[in-house]
Structure formats: structure tokens, C-alpha cells
Amino acid sequence: MTIDVATGIVRILKQEGVGWVSTFPVCRVNNALGREGVPMLMMRDDRYAVAVADAFSRITAGSQGGSRIGVCTFQGGVNAAGMQYAYAGMAQAYEDGSPVLCITDGVPAGSSGNSQYDVASAMKTVSKWFGYLDKPERTPELMRRAFTMLRSGRPGPVILAIPNATATYDETADPYRPVKGWKSAPDPADVRAAVDQLLEARNPLIYAGEGVIYAGAAEELKALAELVNVPVITTLKAKGAFPENHPLFVGVRGDQVAHYLNQSDLILAVGSSLSPNRFSHGIPDAAKKTIIHCNVDELHINKMYPTAHAVIGDARLTLQALRQEVSDRTSGAGRTAGDVAAEVKGARDQALARYRQVMNSDETPINPYRVYGDLMQVLDLRNSFVTHESGNTRDQLSTVFDTLIPRGFLGWGNVSTLGFSLAAAIAAKKAFPGRATVAVTGEAGLGYMFGNLEVLLREKLGITVVHISNGGFAGYGPGFWGPGHDPFTHRVLGPDEVDMSKVIGALGFHTERVSEPAEIIPALRRALDVNASGRPAYIEFVCCQYPVYGQWVGRGEG
Ligand SMILES: Cc1ncc(C[n+]2csc(CCOP(=O)(O)OP(=O)(O)O)c2C)c(N)n1
Ligand SMILES: [Mg+2]
């Protein structure tokens, strides 16, 4: 059967279990999606088209229903306006290592080199793999390769450029079979070496990264931590990989995390790049510690710190192998030294005391921590999804929000790009429609979202946007980063000047504006009720600019 490339791609996507595709027009594959019955989620800009698909890959990663690949399309070709705008979304997906498939029009043969913007070289800087479909017969080959990249090894975006979507080929010549994706198990000698060190350490610490979630290895992480009786911290992106009510859980951010990072003599890193960023912890005095680095590939080994032992392989298989080795060495008894859980509790109680206090605060304007505390009371933490924004909401929520299931909270952002929370919430609703879904934002994040709010109404996506409305970019307020940000780039019109609940209410959202702490819980309940019938909600909480304490731990200091 002779078919055109666009139809061939869409049929392969269906074989690969892709249920919908996010887009911003136009891409020449889109009509084939429509004809073949694959729903399109049309966003209102190209960056969001990428971000929703990106977030869908992240949120479904390692879930019980199985990892699913988010797919998006946007404008490319010679007039690559869409692609230029989508670039921001791709850069973020690449930086965060998200396996999203981006399909775009390629520059047709004979037209290359005519524009200033060089599509191929630009795309290569933000993708694990960039494929250019130079012959229609290669459609199955390139799609096979794309899904191999998406489902195997270190996760990252794949971009396919289709220069001629109407060219035809024989569909039966090279029939497509779905790609399962492959994993590798670690070298047993490396596992033994790691366990030698682990059992000798006085103060080991497990540093869990998002690779644990991609590998679907949360259970294995818990089992190993319990067997070796070692405290656990997770990165921002791995928040939820370890149950945060577990006695061995130290935290994602906060003084207790700094304390454990400082006092540890051995770091067992699993599924993390260990590349400290603005929003992840470094390892202080790394040269004095033993770093065992378990990762899916060698890219991150010996990257910023000397790796004492690398264990290369899939995180789940690695954790299983480590556990088996410990169990064999200790006749199943594991490592029992000290009352680790009591120490963890003591450190957490001490570090969290100041936050627990303000989570009950009756002050007005409302303390943002009170909103987070009340949100935790309203949500079923085993059946809900919360995500933060760039700004104070990230640092505040990652310090105090208790996440009990993988992806009950999405932490994101090696470089956290404002506006992503709405995309994440949309993706979460698509992935798990039954879960209450909340995006917590400040005014900057909200500004990025505005154009895309219509999508929630059109698609009947029952999501609640919680706005910590504090009239400024709080992190850039007085005292932050020294002089220069305040008063210059700090204040915006706030709740005294603009009533955002009216603005967004006029769109058709259920909206409320809350100034009294006692009203937080009832307002959240009303919003979530409305969400259940597919209507989005926005709540403006009139808040103070409350400081964020502590820092992400750097490389040299505590
Ligand atoms: C795309 C992008 N540009 C710039 C930044 C830098 N940035 C981080 S937070 C922030 C302001 C956040 O202010 P707001 O949304 O009001 O949150 P608050 O900290 O007040 O809660 C800015 C400009 C960013 N993260 N992403
Ligand atoms: Mg603000």
C-alpha cells in the first residue's frame, strides 16, 4: 500500500500507543493526525505545545500504567517561526532530560542555507537526536530510531524534521513494529565494589535523582534504603521518588538536607547527574567523601566530582543488584548501625519547626506557607498532583510539601522556565484525569500562562491554578542578590491594584480571591469540586512576600 509520509508517521504513532498530540499550527503532519483520528491538543503557542508533551513524558514515566511518550508538532521548514518559539520548550526538555518527541516540517531539499536561522544546527543543540527524513521510504527506519532513543538509555528529546510530508512510499515494504526500549544491568564487580564501600561507611547518604522515577524504581529505592538503614534525600526533579512520610526521608531542600550532605562520608547517588545547579544540591567537600555514582550512562561520571565507584546501568536493575549483594553479605540482615530514623526525625523536626509554625499562621496578608499547609490538608496526597513555578513557590514547596507517591508532585527545572507549571498541570490531567491537579504560581508564571488559559476551558480540563499573589517578584525583593534588583525589577501591579480573579473569571474560570486565612480551605474545596466537572479554577491568595530560608547546598559550603 502506497501512503504519504504524514499518514505513515501517524500510523506508527498509533502503533506506539500515542493517544494524542499537542500542537501549535501549523505542521504538515497535523492533517494526517486529524484524518487518522488522533486527537490534537491545540495549545496557544509553540513553547506550550512542547512543554505539555514534555511534561506528559515526565509525569507518566515509570508509572504503573507504563511510561508514555509525549508527542508534539509545531511549525518548521524555511519559515521556522514556530520552531524558533518552540526552541524554549525544547531547551528546557533537553536541560531536564525529558523524552519528548517533537515533529516539525523540515527544510525541503533545495532550500537549505537560505535563511539566517540554521534549523539543523539549532535543533542539534537541544536534542538527544535530530532526525531528518530525507527519503520517504525511511519513515519506518527513522521512527524506529526515534522510539529507540526515547525509550532507552539517558532520557532526552528527539526531534524529527519532515521536509516533504506528502511524498509517498510503500507501507508494506518495511512494516513497522513497536520499539520496546532496552535496559542494561550493571557489572557485578562494580556492584560488589559499591557494596564494599557502603557497608564500611560511617555516615552514608542516598542521593536519589529522577532516573529512579524513569526506571520505575521507587519500590526498589525504598527496599534498599530500608535494608541498609541509610537516610535518603531526593533532587527537586525526583521529589516523590521516595515517600516523604518515610522515617528515612530527610528532604529535598532545607537545613536538614544541608546537615546530612555535610556530615556524610559516603554518597550513594542513584539516577542523578550530580551536576549541582541553581536548583539542586551540590556535594560539599566532595573530594573528602566517597561518591558512588549509579547512572544509566557514563556522561555524568567524573563530571564535577571524582567518582569513587561508578555503577552503570538502569536504576531499577542497579538498586535490585545492590540490594541482593547487601542481602547476600549480611544473610539478609542488612545494615543496622545506629538509630538512623530517630536522628532523621530530630533533624527534620528542628529544620522544619519554623515552617510548621507559619503553616498555621493567621497573619494577613496570608503567609504563603499557610496556603501550602492548607493545600496538603485538602488534597488526598495519594491521588493528586501539585507542581510549582519558578520563583519562591519552587523553593517553598520543595521544602515543605509532603509528596507520598511518585509524581504526586512534579519538581522541574535545572533551569526553571517560568510558565511550565500550567503545561505540567495540563499533562497531569491528561495522564491521570481522576487526580486533583493544582499548579501553584506567582505573578511572573501567571503572566506566561495567560494566552494558554483558554485551552483549559476549550478542553474542559479541571485544573486549579493557585496564585500566591504578592505584588512582586519576591525573590528579587529587598536584600536578594544584593542591591540592584530592588527597587528596579521587583514590583509589579499587585492585588491592591488589579483584581486577577475578575480578569480570569471573565474568561469563564471559577475564580476566587482570598484574603483571610480561614477561607483558604473552603475556597480550595470549592475549586476542586468545580474541577471535578471539568471546569478550571483560579484562586488568588493575597499573600505577603515571605522569605525563603537557606539555599541549595553548594559545592564547598554548608
Ligand atoms: C523564562 C524565565 N525567565 C526568567 C526567569 C527568572 N525568574 C525566576 S523567578 C522570577 C520571578 C518570579 O516572581 P513571581 O512569579 O511573582 O513569584 P514569587 O517569587 O513572587 O512567588 C523570574 C523573573 C525564569 N525562571 N524563567
Ligand atoms: Mg510574586
CA of residue 478 to ligand 2 center, whole Å: 13
Ligand 2 centre distance from Cα of residue 516 (Å): 18
Q: Which of ligand 1's atoms lies nearest the C-alpha of 473? A: 13
Query: Which atom of ligand 1 is nearest the CA belonging to 419?
Result: 1
Residue with cell 544584593: 482
Ligand 1 pocket test, candidate residues 418, 421, 542, 545, most atoms within 8 A of CB: 418
The per-residue pLDDT for 2 is 97
Closest CA to ligand 1's atom 9: 391
Q: Which numbered atom of ligand 1 lies nearest the CA of 396?
A: 21
Coarse DSSP helix, strand, coil percentages of the chain, rounded to the nearest 5 percent: 40, 15, 45
Q: Which atom of ligand 1 is nearest to the CA of 472?
A: 16
Residues 6+ apart with CB under 8 A from 87: 122, 126
**Distance of CA 60 from the midpoint of ligand 2 (Å):** 30
Residues 6+ apart with CB under 8 A from 220: 315, 316, 319, 320, 323
Distance 442 CA to ligand 2 centre (A): 5
Dist. CA 199–CA 319, nearest whole Å: 15
pLDDT at 65: 85
Residue to probe by mutation, ligand 1, list 390, 443, 546, most atoms within 8 Å of CB: 390
Ligand nearest to the CA of 442: 1
Could you tell me the distance, in angstroms and rounded to a whole number, from the CA of residue 418 to the centre of ligand 1? 6
Ligand 1 centroid to residue 406 C-alpha, Å: 26
Amino acid 487: pLDDT: 72
Please name the amino acid found at residue 246: H
Please give the span between the terminal C-alpha atoms of the chain, in angstroms, as a whole number: 65
- What atom in ligand 1 is closest to the CA of residue 447? 15
Q: Which residue has the least CA distance to atom 11 on ligand 1? A: 473
The helix (run of H) or strand (run of E) holding residue 440 is: strand 436-441
Distance from the CA of 172 to the center of ligand 1, in angstroms?
A: 51
Residue nearest to atom 10 of ligand 1 (CA): 391
DSSP states of 265-293: SEEEEES------TTS---TTGGGSEEEE
Q: Which residue, judged by its Cα, is nearest atom 13 of ligand 1?
A: 473
| Radius of gyration of the chain, Cα coordinates, nearest whole angstrom | 24
Question: In this structure, what C-alpha cell is assigned to residue 183?
Answer: 535496559
Whether the bond into 204 is cis, omega within 30 of 0: no
Ligand 1 atom at minimum distance from 389 CA: 15
Task: Say which residues have a Cβ less than 8 Å from residue 85's Cβ, sequence separation at least 6.
Answer: 45, 46, 47, 74
**Which segments in the chain show pLDDT lower than 70?**
479-485, 555-558
Q: From the CA of 394, how far away is ligand 1's center (Å)?
A: 10
Ligand 1 environment, Cβ below 6 A: 389-393, 416-418, 442-445, 468, 470, 472-475
Task: Please give the distance, rounded to the nearest whole angstrom, from the Cα atom of residue 493 to the centre of ligand 1.
Answer: 15
Question: Is 0.95 surpassed by the pTM of this model?
Answer: yes
Q: Ligand 2: distance of its center to the CA of 474 in Å?
A: 5
Going from the C-alpha of 16 to that of each of 151, 282, 416, 456, the distances in angstroms are 11, 38, 30, 27
Three cell numbers written together for 61:
514515566
Q: In terms of DSSP bridges, do strands 21-23 and 71-74 run parallel, antiparallel, or are they unpaired?
A: parallel
Atom 22 in ligand 1: which residue has the minimum CA distance? Answer: 391
Q: Which atom of ligand 1 is nearest to the CA of 418?
A: 26
